[in-house]
Amino acid sequence: MTESRRVGLIGVGNMGGAMAERLCGLGWTVGVRDIEPAREAECVRAGAAAHATPAALAAAHAVVIVAVVDAAQCDAVLFGDDGLVLGASRDGACVVLCPTLGPSSTEAIAARLGERGIGCIDAPMSGGPARARDGSMSLMVACADALFERQRALLEGLSVKLFRIGERPGDGARTKLVNNLLAAINLAGAAEAIALAERVGLDPARTLDVIEQSSGQSWIGSDRMRRALAGDLAARAHTTLLAKDSRLAMAMAAEAGFEAPLGRTAAERFRVACAAGYGALDDASLLQLLRESGG
């Protein structure tokens, strides 16, 4: 196995774990690090090797994918005690940054890595664990052209829906926030429509059948409302994630001087859902919140 086919992953939860499984299946030598031993164990069963710290992982793998939740966690695993930068080699070292972050956070991380001679690929992901596992998730990539070409095999292995956004770090993050704001608007709207259908005496599943074949259809609305109607709120995408992402999107809009009333309403729906105790549930739980609150 050549060095170019070695990769580490920090954060192997729903998305990171699915990416690790995919890369193992494609024949990559994969190392993993997570604060949850059970998650590491799942990846080891798939063929990965566990490492004790981010620094140890970086010492063994020049290229490391970071798939933690937020900017604070990124700072901790990259620059904290036993962080990646302590073990990274300057020879071809590269971080692939996959969480949904604010653009300023992505820019700051890329700059700090660059000061240490470590490349940074801004590559937020979208699509959920099943799509990460089969390689059909989306990756929105912003980095220098030369760095993109060096890591093309890895990026194409992770995703058949690889979008080359540009060279400016942070533009991947900006694209992801625009996408996720629309996802939040679509999901909030779908939950509201199905809750209204129930309130006026319609069969919600049959109503969703109609929507899916008509002008109201959206992928996230169909996916989440089918689960909600089946009473399945086991978390694939926690409600906290769209709450965070829509909040970051609204902050980006405010910084740009752009008024986004629909986005603001959707972000407030997810904030209220988290405050009401739905944060750890799947974001399909928005329907249950509207049922209980009467809209």
pLDDT at residue 236 is higher than 80: yes
Whole-number pLDDT of residue 90: 67
C-alpha 76/C-alpha 140 separation (Å) is 23
| Rounded Cα–Cα distance for residues 8 and 61 (Å) | 6
Residues 75 and 145 in one domain: yes
Q: Are residues 163 and 215 in the same domain?
A: no
Active-site residues, by number, are 176
Q: How confident is the model at residue 1 (pLDDT cuts 50, 70, 90)?
A: very low
Are residues 262 and 198 part of one domain?
yes
* Residue 127 scores a pLDDT above 90: no
The CATH number for 108's domain is: 3.40.50.720
Q: What is the pTM of this model?
A: 0.90
Which of 110, 135, 168 marks a domain boundary? 168
163 with 184, same domain? no
The confidence band for 248, taking pLDDT boundaries of 50, 70 and 90, is: very high
Residue by residue, DSSP assigns the chain as --GGGEEEEE--SHHHHHHHHHHHHTT-EEEEE-S-HHHHHHHHHHT-EE-SSHHHHHHH-SEEEE--SSHHHHHHHHHSTT-HHHH--SSS-EEEE-S---HHHHHHHHHHHHHTT-EEEE--EES-HHHHHHT-SEEEEES-HHHHHHTHHHHHHH-SEEEEEESSTTHHHHHHHHHHHHHHHHHHHHHHHHHHHHHTT--HHHHHHHHHTSTT--HHHHHHHHHHHTT----SSBHHHHHHHHHHHHHHHHHTT---HHHHHHHHHHHHHIIIIITTSBGGGHHHHHHHHT-
- Identify the CATH number of the domain in which residue 186 sits: 1.10.1040.10
Clarify whether residues 187 and 160 are in a common domain: no
Number of domains the chain contains: 2
Residues 145 and 250 in one domain: no
For residue 38, count CB atoms less than 10 angstroms from its CB and return exposed for 0-12, middle for 13-18, buried for 19 or more. exposed
**Range(s) of the domain holding residue 286:** 174-293
99 and 183 assigned to the same domain: no
Please report where in the chains the tokens 């700072």 appear, as a residue.
Answer: 75
Of residues 98 and 90, more confidence is placed in 98
- My answer on whether 17 and 161 are in the same domain is yes
pLDDT at 277: 96
Share of the chain above pLDDT 90, in %: 94
Q: Residue 129: pLDDT above 60?
A: yes
Same domain, 34 and 163: yes
Nearest to 103 by CA among 253, 266, 270: 253
